[in-house]
């Protein structure tokens, strides 16, 4: 029988952005890196073994370089967000409030790829529309998904920023996320967790 995943949520920064820390056999997986995340995990004795960035918007990569420097961990994200992650100054049009340090990928993650961080194996779902490189991490065996800014409780990611596309976002959610089982838990980049079934029934953007 599978044990429930041990997941800690940290919320920080100007956009109240969620980071998640998943206990692994050795160390922890970090999903996103908002302001304050690197210090918070260090204070709690968490050792980050790997970092996944669900997309390249400033509020999700704020502490990424600090986390890599602190823990020496590999970084994974989608190739379509390489520019945002390696040249964060281009995000001035997004309202970027500070200078951010670049972070380079150890490996790019694309649609259908798998990422194994024992004891978990994630399938990568590329769902652009909020950001060109937006990805979700789906753990089928244990029934949970790290969703970034794709699908929220009662909402979806905004698409009015550079590179956004509302039609692409909605179609991707319907084709790649809402086809998952009802009881899959979604851990979003902002706000509280939800389930696929709840969003299929009640989310006004995708009903």
User: Residue 119 pLDDT > 80, yes or no?
Assistant: yes
Q: What is the dihedral of CA 142, 104, 131, 155, to 10 degrees?
A: 40
Residue found by looking up tokens 């065996």 in the block: 141
d(CA 150, CA 124): 13
Mean pLDDT (whole number) for 122-140:
98
d(CA 19, CA 30): 7
* Per-residue pLDDT reduced to its tens digit, 66-75: 999 999 999 9
The pLDDT of residue 1: 35
Mean pLDDT (whole number) for 130-136:
97
* Per-residue pLDDT reduced to its tens digit, 43-84: 777 899 999 999 999 999 999 999 999 999 999 999 999 999
* Per-residue pLDDT reduced to its tens digit, 5-56: 999 999 999 999 999 999 999 999 999 999 999 999 877 778 999 999 999 9
Residue spans per domain, the chain: 7-202
pTM of the model: 0.95
Order the strands of the 17-23 sheet from edge to edge. 7-12, 17-23, 28-31, 48-52, 75-77, 107-108
Domain 7-202 has CATH 3.60.15.10: yes
The mean pLDDT of the chain is 94
């Amino acid at each position: 029988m599978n044990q429930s995943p041990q997941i800690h949520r940290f919320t920080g920064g100007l956009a109240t952005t969620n980071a998640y820390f998943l206990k692994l056999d050795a160390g922890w997986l970090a999903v996103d890196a908002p302001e304050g995340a690197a210090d918070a995990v260090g204070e709690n004795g968490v050792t980050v073994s790997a970092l996944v960035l669900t997309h390249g918007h400033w509020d999700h990569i704020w502490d990424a370089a600090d986390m890599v420097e602190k823990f020496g961990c590999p970084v994974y994200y989608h190739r379509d967000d390489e520019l945002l992650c390696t040249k964060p100054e281009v995000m001035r049009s997004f309202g970027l409030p500070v200078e951010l340090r670049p972070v380079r990928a150890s490996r790019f993650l694309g649609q259908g790829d798998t990422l194994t961080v024992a004891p978990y194996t994630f399938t990568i779902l590329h769902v652009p529309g909020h950001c060109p490189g937006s990805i979700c991490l789906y753990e089928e065996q244990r029934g949970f998904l790290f969703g970034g800014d794709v699908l929220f409780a009662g909402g979806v990611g905004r698409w009015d920023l550079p590179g956004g596309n509302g039609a692409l976002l909605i179609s991707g959610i319907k084709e790649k996320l809402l086809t998952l089982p009802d009881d899959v838990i979604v851990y979003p980049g902002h706000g509280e967790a939800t389930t696929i079934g709840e969003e299929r029934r009640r989310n006004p953007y995708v009903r």
